[in-house]
A and B are shown apart, each in its own frame.
Chain A
């Protein structure tokens, strides 16, 4: 057969040349180029700072009862800044209570995500790399964990052990481990058949070193993105449990618990329920947006989209518009 040699398709070289022109972009500069993601990151940063420093500044205010200031409506400057978000049925400052609740909420969600991420990922990568019986048993275990009524688990922990935040973290972490396990296993099973892993094997590298040096770096971005999404989920789960009365217990306070406590005052003081819920929604949406951005930023095939400067972006939008 006499055939003309295939040449690279021009379209592909165009993309790389953009990246070349701008150099390898830093994550920060890519983040700043995406307006939505920047806003989301700022919101999450603010929430984190509030959780870290807020309670030490306003902790006292949060427990300060003032029966003269019962159920004051929010956004009324006459009440002073402490009551800017209104007050609850005991005259406590909503603002201060929400700040304290931020810390509780994050102290449950963040450790739960980290524990599940760490254990689930390692387990999944290990199972996927070795395949065979180890994989089968691990996946069956994951199935069992997933099909267990986590609500019951929560109640058991609540009644048998103390209903502390640490125990809620434990429940949430255990029930979410399978999510990371499945993803990590799938990726790792796919990777272990790749040539570069074979190459490492032929050099006599031990399985554990291959997992550490070749598999984990590849799966990490995917799992981090998943963890960002899971943060959102775990936060919602905690607030659901607290809402049902089997999560955070008074006198501690979390956003979900505040929604539940405010429910009976819905007719007279809507802000008691609505505002903490809004905090949950805003934080969750921000985590979602950031996860969507991370998915693109950590994918080498799509990253170039985020490297475009304003002008290039405008051009691209024009092109897309034209194309219709």
Chain B
């Protein structure tokens, strides 16, 4: 376990460090925040004072050193906009994103397992063809457009749900329905593919030869074998959602980390942006460990005795299959930090 953790930290740590440094530098390239925060007719003295207060007068490497020193003391700096602690702001926004991601993924997994298994029972059957078209379409609809259509139909025309906000059950319907499409479409294809190959394995015949019912054969024997590849892809999709569904959070006014991130980018609120990137990176690090543990629980062939390397390899291979020739329709974003912003 310790070896595993060490390897995990080394393999995630380097990209994380590069990303933090990169974000730090890139964010400062977007322009001087003084232009945004001070009145147009601000005097030179006001500008200097602003720069000194925010540490912007120092050379960039000094700023960076101060920043890293702060991280060690769990001090992530203050927001230029509100003066609040950036760490606290990120932590406050994060639960909203996690709740949205959790609900969406739970729904996507349940639906995908049902539809994908049903499709796999009769390959090339009507249900199979219908579900493959459905999942293709689900994965092709831009979420911002779907959100707008949802608002137009259900909020404006029918008045069933509110257009934005987080109050009450009804407020969840549109964001979740919008977000669930892509994970659902991708997972249906993965589950279907894994189930088709698992159902054609000899151990399914053996289970039938023992007199197992169809329910037992599909539910216990086939699905359990299809779960590992499903988990890998589901994990990657969750990573994308945890990064914050920027577009959906923006449209529905959902106070999550994605909205906070885009706002702080547009406002040059460097400290908040850095805190957001760091927080999601840590969350994704934890999530990846959970996925690895889940993977080992599901597939005994990659348990610790076989070594963490092998497990990583198996997961990577699953990912490879994902993008490979027989892969389902959508290549998933497999990044670990804020990649999926583009997805969002």
Stretch binding the partner chain, chosen from A21-29, A79-87, A153-161, A208-216: A153-161
Residues in B with CB closer than 8 Å to A281 are 137, 140-142, 145
Q: How many residues of chain A are within 8 Å of chain B by beta carbon?
A: 61
Q: Is B41 an interface residue (CB 8 A)?
A: no
Q: In the complex, what's the smallest C-beta–C-beta distance from A224 to chain B, in angstroms?
A: 10
Q: Is B40 an interface residue (CB 8 A)?
A: no
Q: How far is the CA of A147 from the CA of B156 in the complex (A)?
A: 38
Q: How far is the CA of A222 from the CA of B326 in the complex (A)?
A: 9
Q: Is A175 an interface residue (CB 8 A)?
A: yes
Task: Give the contacting residue for B331; candidates A144, A148, A179; CB below 8 A.
Answer: A179
Which residue of A has the minimal Cβ distance to B151?
Answer: A266
Q: Interface code B313-344, partner A: CB below 8 Å = 1, 0 otherwise?
A: 00001011001111101110111111101111
B15 touches A140 (CB 8 A): yes
Q: In the complex, what's the smallest C-beta–C-beta distance from A112 to chain B, in angstroms?
A: 11
Given contact pairs A229-B330, A266-B151, A267-B156, A151 touches B137 in the complex (Cβ within 8 A):
no
Q: Is A41 an interface residue (CB 8 A)?
A: no
Residues in A with CB closer than 8 Å to B31 are 159-160
Q: How far is the CA of A220 from the CA of B61 in the complex (A)?
A: 45
Given contact pairs A233-B330, A259-B145, A244 touches B247 in the complex (Cβ within 8 A):
yes
Q: Is A183 an interface residue (CB 8 A)?
A: yes
Q: Is A31 an interface residue (CB 8 A)?
A: no
A148 touches B137 (CB 8 A): no
Q: How many residues of chain B are within 8 Å of chain A by beta carbon?
A: 63
Stretch binding the partner chain, chosen from B17-25, B43-51, B166-174, B219-227: B17-25
- CB neighbors of A among B270-284 (8 A): 273, 277, 281
Residues in A with CB closer than 8 Å to B140 are 232, 236, 281, 284-285, 287-288
B15 touches A149 (CB 8 A): no
B277 touches A149 (CB 8 A): yes
Task: Give the contacting residue for B338; candidates A148, A183, A237, A285; CB below 8 A.
Answer: A148
Residues in B with CB closer than 8 Å to A48 are none
- CB neighbors of B among A244-268 (8 A): 244, 256, 259-260, 263, 266-267
Q: In the complex, what's the smallest C-beta–C-beta distance from B66 to chain A, in angstroms?
A: 21
Residues in A with CB closer than 8 Å to B143 are 240
Task: Give the contacting residue for A149; candidates B23, B141, B334; CB below 8 A.
Answer: B23
A160 touches B30 (CB 8 A): yes
Residues in B with CB closer than 8 Å to A160 are 29-31
B324 touches A222 (CB 8 A): yes
A147 touches B323 (CB 8 A): no
Q: How far is the CA of A111 from the CA of B142 in the complex (A)?
A: 20
Chain A CB within 10 A, most for which of B16, B18, B27, B323: B323
Q: In the complex, what's the smallest C-beta–C-beta distance from A318 to chain B, in angstroms?
A: 12
A183 touches B320 (CB 8 A): yes
Q: How far is the CA of A155 from the CA of B269 in the complex (A)?
A: 13
A233 touches B148 (CB 8 A): no
Q: Interface code A186-214, partner B: CB below 8 Å = 1, 0 otherwise?
A: 11000000000000000000000000000
Residues in B with CB closer than 8 Å to A153 are 26
Task: Give the contacting residue for B149; candidates A152, A175, A221, A274; CB below 8 A.
Answer: A274
Q: How far is the CA of A144 from the CA of B334 in the complex (A)?
A: 11
A149 touches B149 (CB 8 A): no
Task: Give the contacting residue for B137; candidates A159, A240, A285; CB below 8 A.
Answer: A285
Q: Interface code B252-285, partner A: CB below 8 Å = 1, 0 otherwise?
A: 0000000001100110000001000100010000
A229 touches B337 (CB 8 A): no
Residues in B with CB closer than 8 Å to A159 are 29-31
Q: In the complex, what's the smallest C-beta–C-beta distance from A256 to chain B, in angstroms?
A: 7
Given contact pairs A148-B19, A153-B26, A244-B250, A291 touches B329 in the complex (Cβ within 8 A):
yes
A155 touches B265 (CB 8 A): yes
Task: Give the contacting residue for A288; candidates B139, B317, B339; CB below 8 A.
Answer: B139
B331 touches A226 (CB 8 A): yes
Q: Is A4 an interface residue (CB 8 A)?
A: no
Q: In the complex, what's the smallest C-beta–C-beta distance from B35 to chain A, in angstroms?
A: 11
Q: Is A135 an interface residue (CB 8 A)?
A: no
B273 touches A175 (CB 8 A): no
Residues in B with CB closer than 8 Å to A304 are none
B320 touches A266 (CB 8 A): no
Residues in B with CB closer than 8 Å to A298 are 325
Q: Is B92 an interface residue (CB 8 A)?
A: no
Q: How far is the CA of A237 from the CA of B341 in the complex (A)?
A: 9
Q: Is B68 an interface residue (CB 8 A)?
A: no
Q: Is B122 an interface residue (CB 8 A)?
A: yes
Residues in B with CB closer than 8 Å to A155 are 30, 265-266
B15 touches A144 (CB 8 A): yes
Q: In the complex, what's the smallest C-beta–C-beta distance from B306 to chain A, in angstroms?
A: 21
Residues in A with CB closer than 8 Å to B262 are 151, 244
A240 touches B26 (CB 8 A): no
Given contact pairs A156-B30, A240-B144, A230 touches B331 in the complex (Cβ within 8 A):
yes
Residues in A with CB closer than 8 Å to B333 are 146
Q: Is A306 an interface residue (CB 8 A)?
A: no
Q: How far is the CA of A263 from the CA of B151 in the complex (A)?
A: 10
Q: Is A121 an interface residue (CB 8 A)?
A: no
| 6 A-B pairs whose Cβ atoms sit less than 8 Å apart in the complex | A143-B335, A179-B323, A240-B342, A256-B142, A284-B141, A295-B325
Assuming A147-B281, A236-B140, what are 16 further A-B pairs, CB within 8 angstroms? A143-B11, A144-B14, A148-B338, A149-B341, A229-B331, A233-B330, A240-B342, A240-B344, A260-B144, A266-B151, A266-B156, A273-B145, A277-B142, A277-B145, A280-B142, A285-B140
